[in-house]
Amino acid sequence: MHVHEFVFMSIDNAPMPLRNYEGQPILLVNTASECEYTPQYEALERIWEDYRQSGLIIIGMPCDDFGHQEPGTEEEIAEFCRNEYNVSFLMTGKYNVMGLSAHPLFQTIREEFGDDATPRWNFYKYLFDRTGQMVDFWPSRVRPDDPAVTHQIECNLQSWVL
């Protein structure tokens, strides 16, 4: 699987082909605005600020699959993220990650890596290296600024060439 093969629509309804980020590590997170893990937006924004100049791409992907915790429209989600957490990293439109209506990326993750890699809740984190291969993934309870996550980010940034 190469993450660069997939396309999302941005939260502003513009095409977001992941091939635009070839050569850069990508941290993809399924997000929700009304979740106990929603404060992780702060850590994601901090990581974005710390590592974006080194090439890291962070993409938040709103998802309403778990507990109906992302009920808003894309416009409402974007406003919430800006106003409450000053989010400036990339955001996709709202997508499903479970079942037959899951975005093709998440269908592929399940097919290639099994149920353990499938999100069980909001704020699952997936790190892809600069070649588009999945390096690791972390469940909701693991914060984006956890040393296990930042260590993997730093290892993949060190392998990144300008």
In the chain, which residues have pLDDT < 50? 160-162
Catalytic residue among 35, 63, 81, 155: 35
Output the pLDDT for position 159. 61
Each residue's pLDDT tens digit, 126-138: 999 999 999 999 9
Output the pLDDT for position 134. 97
| Domains in the chain with CATH codes | 3-158 (3.40.30.10)
Each residue's pLDDT tens digit, 46-76: 999 999 999 999 999 999 999 999 999 999 9
pTM of the model: 0.95
Output the pLDDT for position 158. 75
Asked if residue 122 lies in contact with residue 42, where contact means CB atoms within 8 angstroms, the answer is no
Per-residue H/E/C for 102-125: ECHHHHHHHHHHCHHHCCCCCCCE
Residue 63 a catalytic site member: no
